[in-house]
Structure 1
Amino acid sequence: MNQVATNWKDYECIDCGNGEKLERWKDVVLRRPDPQVIWPLENKDSLWKHPDAHYHRSKAGGGQWEYLKKIPSEWTIQYKHLTFKVAPTGFKHTGLFPEQAANWDYMMNKIKNSNLEEIRVLNLFAYTGGATLACASAGAEEVVHVDASKGMVQWAKDNMKLSNLSHKKIRFIVDDVMKFVQREKRRGRTYHAIIMDPPSYGRGPNGEIWKIEEQLYPLIQACLEILDDDALFFLVNSYTTGFSATVLHNVLHATVLKRFNEGILSCGEIGLPITLSKTILPCGIYGRWERTNDTIL
């Protein structure tokens, strides 16, 4: 089952080709590399030739932005009732992955339609807080946001304020995710929903090494120790090249579904609609277990 983020107004994937994508972020048009785009470019209109900014990769690694027009160093875009700060970074990213709106819609729908009196959500590798704010705005009693990067956590706090959600109970934690999960187990804390977006490779705040192929399975097992008996959903998102939806399905089948044999397990690609070609840009994979409303304890 594939998920496509079709409800954007402030974001648009205009076109893709020759290893690049052309995007509109509200009023700003950006041209960026994308390794998934292996097909040729067919529409060479003026937007391709004259974007507001173009990210050029360096053969030595990394890259830099070429600004063809004067644009703000940062600006905001909206998704439904949520507001996010976006800004071109030195690593080609903007601080937001718009395809994740498909997951946000899912989370908000599950929380709003749940018959649980109280929902606690844990968001691991939480980045700038898209999922955190989606869950808080939908009515989660508490959302715990964990990321190893102080800068990303601060960005998430900025997004919370922009979305007028400062009154919600959101805990922002700078920590290694495994260490945090293990501490929550010792505290006896549980969550009704757990979300994670693990990188291929990363470091914790104290130099802890993360490799997805070695540590995803143990992390999910640890998370099951703090997943409430009345759990609502468990969602994993991944951008790791070569890590297929089938592999993720097998991992979740051997962990989450082993504990909760009721409910639904689904996995697939997540993507964005491409306006000009009417096709889909694949952006990663997701896997989720969800308890249906009629099976909540």
Structure 2
Amino acid sequence: MTTASEISPAARAPQTPASRWPVMLTTEGWPDYALIDSGHGRKLERYGPYRIVRPEAQALWTPRLSAEEWDRADAIFTGAKDEDSDGRWKYRKPLGETWPMAWPLPRAVGEGEVRFLGRFTAFRHVGFFPEQEMHWAWFGRKIRDAKYADPKRQPKVLNLFGYTGIASFVAAMAGAQVTHVDASKKAIGWARDNQTMSGIADLPVRWIVDDAMKFVQREVRRGSKYDGIILDPPKFGRGPNGEVWDIFERLPEMMALCRQLLADDALFLCLSAYSIRASFMAIHETSAEALSGLPGTLESGELLIREEGEGRTLSTSLFSRWSRDG
């Protein structure tokens, strides 16, 4: 279903944790998702029953498919100059507001599937980022392995900027107790709908509508500890009371606080960053500074999606992730 490859791991001076970069993690798609084609600043994807066209500035090449194939898309997003701008969707025929989707859990993580709702939003997104499946499978396996090693252990996982909850559900289904934080009450409502849709309303997920930075600061003062932390921050955002998040200004502080929240025998920390003009080395070195002194391995690179049919690969976001067992 997915592949992960490491391209030319760089030799680094000895440090803790050990570093590996660049690491390229490639999503090949699954039954409910595929990157069909890309080029000329756009991408054509399949989300469940729908074919969707959205802007993609990095797709500099020429599309493989004909213009007629692209024109048959069910929905086309237009009118936005960048990721932070509102636009609008043009529909070939009337579509429902939401539609069901699913991601099958890898065997190493658990059984069944995570079910959730796709939805057309004004910011071109549809409720999840498919390349993140590489992280879902990774930290899901870390949690599952910890449970096998100690059946009485229930790892505590903090999901910051949690959005519509898929990462939280994977962690919970793997055996974790999850605290899900997002500044958007609407996103939390969407996530709770997804939880009900997945039939996992009884799993331990705590929902917090709050500014991520303020929540983490309070958790540090409380002396709280977590076995795993997931962060998928936007480039820019606002908290429920007007708090301002700018990834270039606030990420170092956020990472330092998250380091204080990691338990002595913590399992992992997973950071993603999208829609920013930066190298993955920027978040790698930020993470390395914050996590200095920890054992294990810090690997950084890019999340990629491959076009179906062994096509080209499209870079979608940067990441840096640490795990105790490498």
Contact kept, 8 Å, 2:28 with 2:307, in 1: the verdict is no
Match of 2:166 in 1: 130
Q: Tell me how far apart the structure 2 counterparts of residues 72 and 46 of structure 1 sit (CA, whole Å).
A: 24
Match of 1:287 in 2: 320
Q: Tell me how far apart the structure 2 counterparts of residues 24 and 59 of structure 1 sit (CA, whole Å).
A: 23
Alignment of 1:82-231 (within 5 A): 82-114=114-146, 115-116=149-150, 117-140=153-176, 142-231=177-266
Q: Tell me how far apart the structure 1 counterparts of residues 101 and 256 of structure 2 sit (CA, whole Å).
A: 36
> Equivalent residue of 1:54, what SS?
strand
1:34 aligns with 2:67: no
Structure 2: 5+ residue stretches without partners: 1-22, 105-112
Q: 1:232 aligns with which of 244, 267, 271?
A: 267
Identity %: 38
Q: Tell me how far apart the structure 2 counterparts of residues 70 and 214 of structure 1 sit (CA, whole Å).
A: 42
1:264 aligns with 2:300: no
Q: Compute the displacement of 1:44 (Å).
A: 1.0
RMSD: 1.6
Q: Tell me how far apart the structure 2 counterparts of residues 180 and 62 of structure 1 sit (CA, whole Å).
A: 28
Q: Which amino acid aligns with 2:57?
A: P
Contact kept, 8 Å, 1:15 with 1:276, in 2: the verdict is no
> Equivalent residue of 2:320, what SS?
strand
Contact kept, 8 Å, 1:33 with 1:57, in 2: the verdict is no
**Change beyond 3 A, Cα 1:37–1:50:** same
Q: Tell me how far apart the structure 1 counterparts of residues 260 and 266 of structure 2 sit (CA, whole Å).
A: 12
> Equivalent residue of 2:123, what SS?
coil
Match of 1:75 in 2: 99
**Change beyond 3 A, Cα 1:246–1:74:** same
Match of 2:15 in 1: none
1:20 aligns with 2:53: no
Moved more, 52-61 or 238-247: 52-61
Q: Which amino acid aligns with 2:130?
A: P
> Equivalent residue of 1:69, what SS?
coil
Q: Tell me how far apart the structure 1 counterparts of residues 124 and 190 of structure 2 sit (CA, whole Å).
A: 17
Normalised by the length of structure 2, the TM-score is 0.85
> Equivalent residue of 1:259, what SS?
coil
> Equivalent residue of 2:302, what SS?
strand
Q: Tell me how far apart the structure 2 counterparts of residues 62 and 44 of structure 1 sit (CA, whole Å).
A: 28
Q: Compute the displacement of 1:230 (Å).
A: 0.8
Contact kept, 8 Å, 1:15 with 1:277, in 2: the verdict is no
**Superposed CA offset, 1:117-165 (max 9, x none):** 220000001111111111001111x100001011111111111111111
Normalised by the length of structure 1, the TM-score is 0.93
Contact kept, 8 Å, 2:155 with 2:226, in 1: the verdict is yes
**Change beyond 3 A, Cα 1:269–1:143:** same
Q: Which amino acid aligns with 1:269?
A: E
Contact kept, 8 Å, 2:28 with 2:308, in 1: the verdict is no
Moved more, 90-99 or 34-43: 34-43
Q: Which amino acid aligns with 2:68?
A: S
Match of 2:88 in 1: 64
Q: Tell me how far apart the structure 1 counterparts of residues 316 and 118 of structure 2 sit (CA, whole Å).
A: 18
Contact kept, 8 Å, 1:245 with 1:267, in 2: the verdict is yes
Q: Compute the displacement of 1:58 (Å).
A: 4.8
Q: Tell me how far apart the structure 2 counterparts of residues 133 and 245 of structure 1 sit (CA, whole Å).
A: 27
Q: Tell me how far apart the structure 1 counterparts of residues 265 and 154 of structure 2 sit (CA, whole Å).
A: 10
Q: Compute the displacement of 1:68 (Å).
A: 0.6
Aligned residues: 290
**Superposed CA offset, 1:37-94 (max 9, x none):** 1212232153312111111125695321111123221101110010010011122110
